[in-house]
Chains A and B, each alone.
Chain A
């Protein structure tokens, strides 16, 4: 790190603080509306506000595109983030790692729980086909992958995991309207604790609005957000369970 760790947004000159903004307000697309948008940005702390576009959204709403300057900055030397720290291996390496360090197949039970009907996330991680040139867990030699699909009640997921003596529970939450994903994920963990399953297996969640930090906060072992692949999840499982096997 250089001695100066203070950073600001970069437009085209170091430290110019320029940001691109886009938002809508319940105002008409006229001088009055434009002033409302400008005042709002100033209230946030922006300077040199330029409203570059007003788009009439009808029914009394307007969409604004703006550029503005912020004097806010961040000291990068003080940043702490929780990220999944295990290295990422490809499928062959993960299979070899599990054979060598654990010596048996790992059972993963996955589902998209409660009201969520969108299997795109769990399928990308678990299904044979995988996503973007990474095969899903079903394709791995050393995983017994069970994908229960969508709208699975938390109770059913836990019952299946118990029956299969699962090593890992994998939960996907795609729908996040009104923070329903937080409610569903919390419910699953509470049930798991009540049924004394929480410490018997890894609990991993994933979805577009899930971060590792949020997952830890909710009581999960790990969380995978946008841009995560089967390889990330598989490596984390292999390395974490191998480390636990050594301790036990």
Chain B
């Protein structure tokens, strides 16, 4: 059995430091909310749709409340109050606000117990629906059997959801287990979620609730034909992180890219906004049984994959601790890493093996998300195909949870239909060829792979202990993560963070916390 010899004391130190860092944000999680969180609450209360100019109703209502200085107790109470006062449902209230016919700040206040009763009913209804989706997924997995390990994960990205559906069905029929619909490149910085089915996007397709529905239906069709449950994933990241998590929960997405720090470092979104939004979105994911996936691969595409290997480990440990705070179970934490070492590096494969084994060693229950070579993928599609084969080899040998397949045309364009098919063929061949090889091998005690893994963990521990001492925000401000400096009060979206007042109420947060035992 291929297994590392790692000092258990180092593992304990790593987790202790990471827990200290994540645990220092109670003030933020307990006392603050964000515009995105309030929009999520409205979506969960059943508000959907958009004005003619495309502005979604959840944004209309939250912006209205903010403009009237009436958001500090959350969006749920004023909307419920209007429902009682006018005898409308939540959607009607939002539409009336959208038409400019209703000012939520000027209505008489209904007795609090009536307001709470309305919210209790709405939240019970929605949480029942989300639980239903979770049970449906569990039922289908029980019927068709569990996902293969590593699961075959491919992306579609035509920009047109209907064309995406055709490509996704083709890929799933050929053997893909998980389909990701890549988002249009600018979406992470939009402070709203577009509405309805979309047919134009750049480098990807907009994440909208209707698009989720269309793709889920297409994959359900293939699941039934193939007698294999095909999972769907999208990106709960950017300025609408919790809204997208909620939409995914409602439409039975199965995985969500959801990193605690990615938005801060790689999208320049404000650190407080990001941590706050990830806290609530992960709770939604946890409640819905959605497997989260984290974005550690990004550290390696921007920095050297050997020199900065420890940043992947450190980020995995932090993502784990933040996820635990939101109630995500280890078996639903798809922590990330990547095969990004320069192919000119001698023994690059041994390094990759060490890094991949270290991730499995630290997170044995995690369906680890393993990302393919991208940085050294080139216009030489033949060589890239070969690198992808080596990547697939490590993935199966070390039993990573999810193999995000590399495409030989990675450096050229969003994958063509045939590129995706060749990638699946590559993975299926390698996975079959080396299926149980790992069980027959073991590492020499003081071998390079063992030493290298120990070295990376040691560097990660020292780094995390330093960050725990200084505080995460201070460390980010100094550029300790990915060499990018991110000040606590810089970046996009800070104006969307507010301190809750004493009457603040978010029925979903409270109920989910209770049910998740938080």
Interface residues, chain A, CB within 8 Å of chain B? 22-24, 55, 57-59, 61, 63, 115-120, 123, 127-129, 132, 149-151, 175-178, 180, 208, 226
Closest to B268 in A: A149
For the complex, is B117 an interface residue (Cβ under 8 Å from A)? no
Q: How far, in angstroms, from A161 to B391 measured CA to CA in the complex?
A: 42
Residues from chain A with a CB closer than 8 A to the CB of B159 are 177-178
A227 CB, min distance to chain B CBs, angstroms: 8
B308 CB, min distance to chain A CBs, angstroms: 9
Contact B417–A61 (Cβ < 8 Å): yes
Residues from chain B with a CB closer than 8 A to the CB of A24 are 416-418
For the complex, is B483 an interface residue (Cβ under 8 Å from A)? yes
For the complex, is B186 an interface residue (Cβ under 8 Å from A)? yes
0/1 string, B393-429, CB within 8 A of A gives 1: 0000000000000000001111011100110010000
Residues from chain B with a CB closer than 8 A to the CB of A175 are 185, 202-203
Contact A226–B170 (Cβ < 8 Å): no
For the complex, is B125 an interface residue (Cβ under 8 Å from A)? no
B425 CB, min distance to chain A CBs, angstroms: 8
**A-B CB contact pairs (8 Å), 30 listed:** A22-B418, A24-B416, A57-B417, A58-B169, A58-B170, A59-B170, A59-B173, A61-B170, A61-B417, A63-B417, A63-B421, A63-B422, A115-B184, A115-B186, A115-B202, A117-B186, A117-B188, A120-B301, A120-B374, A123-B302, A151-B185, A151-B186, A151-B189, A175-B185, A175-B202, A177-B203, A177-B414, A180-B202, A208-B379, A226-B379
Residues from chain A with a CB closer than 8 A to the CB of B344 are 132
A37 CB, min distance to chain B CBs, angstroms: 12
List B residues 177-198 near A (Cβ within 8 Å). 184-186, 188-189
A41 CB, min distance to chain B CBs, angstroms: 16
B510 CB, min distance to chain A CBs, angstroms: 36
Residues from chain A with a CB closer than 8 A to the CB of B186 are 115, 117, 151
A57-B268 in contact given A123-B302, A177-B413 (Cβ < 8 Å): no
A128-B483 in contact given A116-B185, A180-B202 (Cβ < 8 Å): yes
Residues from chain A with a CB closer than 8 A to the CB of B421 are 55, 57, 63
Residues from chain B with a CB closer than 8 A to the CB of A129 are 303-304, 483
Contact A176–B413 (Cβ < 8 Å): yes
For the complex, is B136 an interface residue (Cβ under 8 Å from A)? no
For the complex, is B375 an interface residue (Cβ under 8 Å from A)? yes
Closest to A181 in B: B202
Interface size class of B (residues with CB under 8 A): 35 or more
Interface residues, chain B, CB within 8 Å of chain A? 159, 166-167, 169-170, 173-174, 184-186, 188-189, 202-203, 267-268, 301-304, 342, 344, 374-375, 378-379, 411-414, 416-418, 421-422, 425, 483
Closest to A59 in B: B170
Residues from chain A with a CB closer than 8 A to the CB of B422 are 55, 63
Contact B375–A120 (Cβ < 8 Å): yes
Contact A177–B169 (Cβ < 8 Å): no
Closest to A149 in B: B268
Contact A57–B411 (Cβ < 8 Å): no
Q: How far, in angstroms, from A23 to B419 measured CA to CA in the complex?
A: 10
Q: How far, in angstroms, from A22 to B421 measured CA to CA in the complex?
A: 13
Contact A119–B202 (Cβ < 8 Å): no
A133 CB, min distance to chain B CBs, angstroms: 9
Residues from chain A with a CB closer than 8 A to the CB of B189 are 151
Q: How far, in angstroms, from A175 to B422 measured CA to CA in the complex?
A: 22
Contact B170–A57 (Cβ < 8 Å): yes
Q: How far, in angstroms, from A57 to B173 measured CA to CA in the complex?
A: 9
Contact B304–A58 (Cβ < 8 Å): no
Residues from chain A with a CB closer than 8 A to the CB of B185 are 115-118, 151, 175
User: What DSSP secondary structure best describes chain B's contact surface?
Assistant: loop
A49 CB, min distance to chain B CBs, angstroms: 18
B224 CB, min distance to chain A CBs, angstroms: 15
Closest to B185 in A: A117
Contact A226–B417 (Cβ < 8 Å): no
Q: How far, in angstroms, from A29 to B184 measured CA to CA in the complex?
A: 32
Residues from chain A with a CB closer than 8 A to the CB of B417 are 24, 57, 61, 63
B7 CB, min distance to chain A CBs, angstroms: 31
Residues from chain A with a CB closer than 8 A to the CB of B170 are 57-59, 61
Q: How far, in angstroms, from A77 to B491 measured CA to CA in the complex?
A: 55
Q: How far, in angstroms, from A223 to B304 measured CA to CA in the complex?
A: 26
Closest to B421 in A: A57
Contact pick for A57, options B203, B267, B374, B418, CB 8 Å: B418
Closest to A183 in B: B202
Contact B418–A226 (Cβ < 8 Å): no
A177-B202 in contact given A59-B169, A117-B186, A120-B375 (Cβ < 8 Å): yes
Closest to B484 in A: A149
Closest to A128 in B: B483
Residues from chain B with a CB closer than 8 A to the CB of A149 are 268
A225 CB, min distance to chain B CBs, angstroms: 9
Given contacts A57-B421, A63-B417, 20 further A-B contacts (CB under 8 A): A24-B418, A55-B421, A57-B174, A57-B417, A57-B418, A58-B169, A58-B173, A58-B174, A61-B417, A115-B185, A115-B186, A117-B188, A119-B302, A120-B374, A120-B375, A127-B302, A128-B483, A129-B483, A151-B186, A177-B203
Q: How far, in angstroms, from A177 to B204 measured CA to CA in the complex?
A: 9
Q: How far, in angstroms, from A175 to B412 measured CA to CA in the complex?
A: 9
A63-B418 in contact given A117-B188, A128-B483 (Cβ < 8 Å): yes
Residues from chain B with a CB closer than 8 A to the CB of A128 are 483
Contact A178–B202 (Cβ < 8 Å): yes
B94 CB, min distance to chain A CBs, angstroms: 29
Q: How far, in angstroms, from A179 to B144 measured CA to CA in the complex?
A: 42
| Best-buried of A120, A175, A208, A226 by chain B (most CB within 10 Å) | A175
A103 CB, min distance to chain B CBs, angstroms: 31
Q: How far, in angstroms, from A130 to B379 measured CA to CA in the complex?
A: 19
Residues from chain B with a CB closer than 8 A to the CB of A116 are 185, 203
Closest to B412 in A: A208
Closest to A23 in B: B418
A136 CB, min distance to chain B CBs, angstroms: 11
Q: How far, in angstroms, from A150 to B188 measured CA to CA in the complex?
A: 12
Q: Sort A-B residue pairs by CB-CB distance and give the 4 closest, nearest first.
A: A63-B418, A59-B170, A58-B170, A175-B203
Residues from chain B with a CB closer than 8 A to the CB of A118 are 185
Q: How far, in angstroms, from A58 to B222 measured CA to CA in the complex?
A: 12
Residues from chain B with a CB closer than 8 A to the CB of A132 are 342, 344
Closest to B200 in A: A178
Contact A55–B418 (Cβ < 8 Å): yes
Q: How far, in angstroms, from A127 to B483 measured CA to CA in the complex?
A: 10
Q: How far, in angstroms, from A127 to B167 measured CA to CA in the complex?
A: 37
Closest to A120 in B: B301
Residues from chain B with a CB closer than 8 A to the CB of A58 are 169-170, 173-174
Q: How far, in angstroms, from A62 to B294 measured CA to CA in the complex?
A: 35
| Best-buried of A59, A118, A149 by chain B (most CB within 10 Å) | A59
A156 CB, min distance to chain B CBs, angstroms: 12
B267 CB, min distance to chain A CBs, angstroms: 8
